[in-house]
């Protein structure tokens, strides 16, 4: 089965831009290094004295990177559900 989904042109431009490459690269950081850096900052063992910069950056990466994927995913799911309601499957080929 082949499914074609039409999404807003703004999302297409974003996904094809270098900004999406940065977001993709930060995906691994948001689930591994950012929480670890927060832990180390809380212990006072990670760049002591720069917590005012490190901690907000870690929280931004942890919360904003997944938000991008959630928004793209919701646009795709919305389009898939709309298409399903318009053209239901028939039982005969």
Q: What is the pTM of this model?
A: 0.64
pLDDT beyond 80 at 60: yes
Q: What is d(CA 67, CA 80) in angstroms, rounded to the nearest whole number?
A: 20
Evaluate whether 54 touches 34 at the Cβ level (below 8 Å): no
Q: Above pLDDT 90, what percent of the chain?
A: 4
- What's residue 18's pLDDT? 92
Q: Above pLDDT 70, what percent of the chain?
A: 88
Asked which of 3-7, 8-12, 43-47, 81-85 is least confident by mean pLDDT, the reply is 81-85
């Amino acid at each position: 089965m082949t499914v074609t989904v039409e999404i807003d042109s703004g999302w297409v431009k974003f996904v094809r831009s270098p900004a999406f490459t940065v977001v993709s690269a930060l995906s691994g950081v948001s689930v591994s290094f950012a929480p670890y850096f927060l832990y180390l900052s809380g212990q006072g063992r990670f760049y002591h004295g720069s917590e005012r910069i490190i901690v907000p950056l870690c929280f931004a990466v942890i919360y904003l990177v997944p938000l991008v994927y959630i928004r793209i995913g919701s646009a795709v799911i919305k389009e898939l559900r709309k298409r399903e309601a318009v053209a239901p499957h028939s039982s005969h080929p």
